[in-house]
Amino acid sequence: MSAANGLVGVDIGATSIKVCQLKEARQGFSLMRFGYCPLEPQTIVDRHVMNAQAVVEALQRVFRESRISQRDIALSVSGQSVISRKITVPIMTIAELDEQIQWEAENHIPFDIKDVNVDYEILRRRPEAGQMDLLLVAAKRDEINDFVQIARQAKLRPLVVDIDAFTIQNVFEYTRGLPPDQTFAIVNVGATQASINIVSRGSSAFTRDLASGGTHLTEQIVRQVGIPYEQAEEMKCAASQPMAASSLPSKVFQVIDSVCDAIASELQRSLDFFLATSGEERITKIYLTGGTANLPQLGSAVERRSRVAVEVMQPLERIPIESKDINQEVVRQRASQLSVALGLAMRKNKEKRV
């Protein structure tokens, strides 16, 4: 794959659009193009696009400004409209499975099957038991169609629609590999959602999205410190920088600590649920990513609640920045926000997921 036929990864998040284009060579990927465009509040609410025109314009702007000419893109969906389940079925051929999968989905997915796109991945064949384990994925067609329509209006060609959690897992696999004997969690804490993916023995075993993130944190600073939203947002981001943090009111830190603790406690409930239902004994590590992972207070809170070592994922660890047009400083600052776009940019043409 050269830069010319690699898809552009387009991550339409609640607070910003992130785009990445990679080049793949024998020694691995490098970053060729990068773009970032903030979205006004209320443009996307609960993953629903409220102002389609604003998203179309932002997409056009971010492609223009980052000088990306490639129009074939990969998009992703997430949140409440996506469900994945690990299921076990009798061993069968791919043709049989393709026929059977709708029926399996009806049994395991709590959405009306007419409204969803279903896909699967074979995780493991266990001939000795006559069974195979699958990862079943269903995403609501409405949600996919909204994003696809908007991309088309921006004169883009969406060829792949993936799921946030899996694209991040792809990046993780590329940078660190997936240890075959360990169970660990990757948690993407963005602006309005925190998505959990537990990876066990090399594949996703559990995903869940929590409705909390950085926007809620900023709103709490507004409320409890009594300052305007922009100022609260600025102070929150400053609190992630050790140098700037000393000049902030202590109340800001109190609010950050308490919201991070609430996120950590919700996360812990999901981890406990997984441990109670999966038969796995323990989670060995938690990796954080997404914009809110920049706050060291989040990592500390998660570590305190879970008693598991926490590390901030470094999505650019094995992706050098190739192009001189890219502002390295900006990319490094935004690195935690780029996991989804980078994972999408790694997707090959037309591979199906949902």
Ligand X SMILES: Nc1ncnc2c1ncn2[C@@H]1O[C@H](COP(=O)(O)OP(=O)(O)OP(=O)(O)O)[C@@H](O)[C@H]1O
- When asked if residue 236 is in the footprint of ligand X (CB under 6 A), the reply is yes
Residue numbers 182-221 binding Mg ion by CB under 5 A: 190
Please, what is the minimum distance in Å from the beta carbon of residue 104 to Mg ion? Answer: 29
Residue numbers 306-345 binding ligand X by CB under 6 A: 337
Among 292, 302, 305, 315, binds ligand X (CB under 6 A): 292
Distance, in Å, from the CA atom of 321 to the CA atom of 303, rounded to the nearest integer, reads 32
Q: Are 108 and 341 in contact (CB under 8 A)?
A: no
Among 6, 15, 19, 287, binds ligand X (CB under 6 A): 15
Q: What are phi and psi of 124, to 5 degrees?
A: -160, 140
> Whose CA is closest to 199, among 286, 80, 81, 82?
286
Distance, in Å, from the CA atom of 332 to the CA atom of 165, rounded to the nearest integer, reads 21
- When asked if residue 13 is in the footprint of Mg ion (CB under 5 A), the reply is yes
* 117 contact, one of Mg ion, ligand X, none, CB 5-8 Å limit per kind: none
Stretch that binds ligand X, among 26-34, 82-90, 213-221, 271-279 (CB under 6 A): 213-221
* 337 contact, one of ligand X, Mg ion, none, CB 5-8 Å limit per kind: ligand X
Stretch that binds Mg ion, among 6-14, 54-62, 296-304, 328-336 (CB under 5 A): 6-14
Please, what is the minimum distance in Å from the beta carbon of residue 190 to Mg ion? Answer: 4
Q: Which residue has 């919201």 as its token pair?
A: 259
Among 240, 270, 297, 306, binds ligand X (CB under 6 A): 240
Please, what is the minimum distance in Å from the beta carbon of residue 152 to ligand X? Answer: 21
212: left (phi over 0), alpha (psi -120 to 50) or beta: beta
- When asked if residue 297 is in the footprint of ligand X (CB under 6 A), the reply is no
Three-state SS at 175: helix
Distance, in Å, from the CA atom of 183 to the CA atom of 201, rounded to the nearest integer, reads 6
Give strand ranges (E) for 50-201: 72-77, 82-90, 116-126, 131-140, 157-163, 183-189, 194-200
Among 183, 207, 215, 297, binds ligand X (CB under 6 A): 215
Distance, in Å, from the CA atom of 186 to the CA atom of 311, rounded to the nearest integer, reads 10
Please, what is the minimum distance in Å from the beta carbon of residue 195 to ligand X? Answer: 8
> Which tokens hold the place of 276?
């109670």
- When asked if residue 213 is in the footprint of ligand X (CB under 6 A), the reply is yes
CB count within 10 Å of CB 270 equals 19
* 81 contact, one of Mg ion, ligand X, none, CB 5-8 Å limit per kind: none
> Which tokens hold the place of 144?
């996919």
Whichever of 132 and 214 has its CB closer to ligand X, that residue is 214
Question: What residues line the site for ligand X (CB under 6 A)?
Answer: 13-16, 190-193, 213-215, 218, 233, 236-237, 240, 290-292, 294-295, 337
